[in-house]
Amino acid sequence: MSNEHLGLAKKFKVNPSSCGGDGNLYEQKLVLTAQSQQYGDGSVIHVLLESDSNGEPQRIVGYISFVANGIDVPSGGDKIDSLPAIEIKTMAVDRDFERQGIGTLLLDYSIHVAIALRQNFIGVDFIITCAAESSVGFYSKYKKQPFVKLDDFFGNADMDDAPENDLDIPNNIPMILTLPK
Ligand SMILES: CC(C)(COP(=O)(O)OP(=O)(O)OC[C@H]1O[C@@H](n2cnc3c(N)ncnc32)[C@H](O)[C@@H]1OP(=O)(O)O)[C@@H](O)C(=O)NCCC(=O)NCCS
């Protein structure tokens, strides 16, 4: 994302009924990142562009942003294991392109990024996200490898003893996907 994308970022609109909260947040993040090339959450944004026949970008169809993270889980006694993960910090699809498989394409891309990192740069075993309640169904439906709620993945009892992860955001649901081997 850079300043050249600012005009496109300003056109990006999320369907208010799909985000279960403040759609402006998704739009603002894009605009602020285009303006300053950074946003306070440390993530990097990847945009999917629609181009005209000359290859000129016309619209931002959707975007996804990533940050390195880990999930802290108890592993017996006082020991804590931190499982290596990348976190989808934010993803959103423009309201004109919803329900056309773009969100799925962005999740495909997240797997591609995680596997490329693992093969070439750094250990990654999981993709995690703090899903807005309204998007839990979307993540659960992902056909390649559905995301599951973190509590279900580890069992509630385990996670009751777990330290606070930074995915613990009120009204949002931490979810996890295990990368294919
Ligand atoms: C959630 C979001 C990314 C989905 O994008 P999308 O491009 O419409 O998703 P897709 O077209 O790839 O949908 C894939 C499947 O999930 C389903 N789906 C999409 N959104 C859903 C939702 N909110 N709840 C339940 N199922 C959903 C689709 O019907 C489709 O199911 P199918 O394969 O049985 O037909 C989009 O609605 C959005 O940007 N919402 C606002 C921002 C947001 O909530 N982001 C996620 C939290 S960070």
Domain boundaries, the chain: 3-178
Rg (CA), the chain: 17
- Phi, psi (5° rounding) for residue 54? -95, 5
Q: 24-37: string of b/e by CB count within 10 Å (b at 16+)?
A: eebbebbbebbeee
Question: What 3-state class would DSSP assign to 24?
Answer: helix
What does the pLDDT read at residue 3? 74
Pocket test for ligand 1, best of 138, 139, 167 (most atoms within 8 A of CB): 138
Closest CA to ligand 1's atom 6: 103
CATH fold for the domain made of 3-178: Aminopeptidase (3.40.630)
Ligand 1 atom nearest residue 20's Cα: 44
Look at ligand 1, atom 29, and give the residue with the nearest C-alpha: 99
- CA 104 to ligand 1: nearest atom: 12
Q: How far apart are CA 118 and CA 125, in angstroms?
A: 8
Task: Please state whether the predicted TM-score (pTM) of the whole model is above 0.85.
Answer: yes
Please report which confidence band the pLDDT of residue 94 belongs to, taking 50, 70 and 90 as the band edges: very high
Span 59-65, mean pLDDT? 97
Backbone angles phi, psi at 119, to 5 degrees: -75, -30
3-state secondary structure of 58: strand
Positive or negative torsion for Cα 33, 37, 39, 42:
positive
Q: Rounded CA gap, 125 and 5, in Å?
A: 32
Please state, as a whole number, how many other Cβ atoms lie within 10 Å of the Cβ of residue 99. 10
Strands 80-93 and 126-132: parallel
Task: Identify which of 14, 99, 167, 175 to mutate to test ligand 1's pocket (most ligand atoms within 8 A of the CB).
Answer: 99
CB-based pocket (< 6 A), ligand 1: 14, 18-19, 26, 90-93, 98-104, 131-132, 134-135, 137-138, 141
Segment 55-79 shows an average pLDDT of 91
Q: What is the pLDDT of residue 7?
A: 93
Identify whether the C-beta of residue 18 lies closer than 8 Å to the C-beta of residue 95.
yes
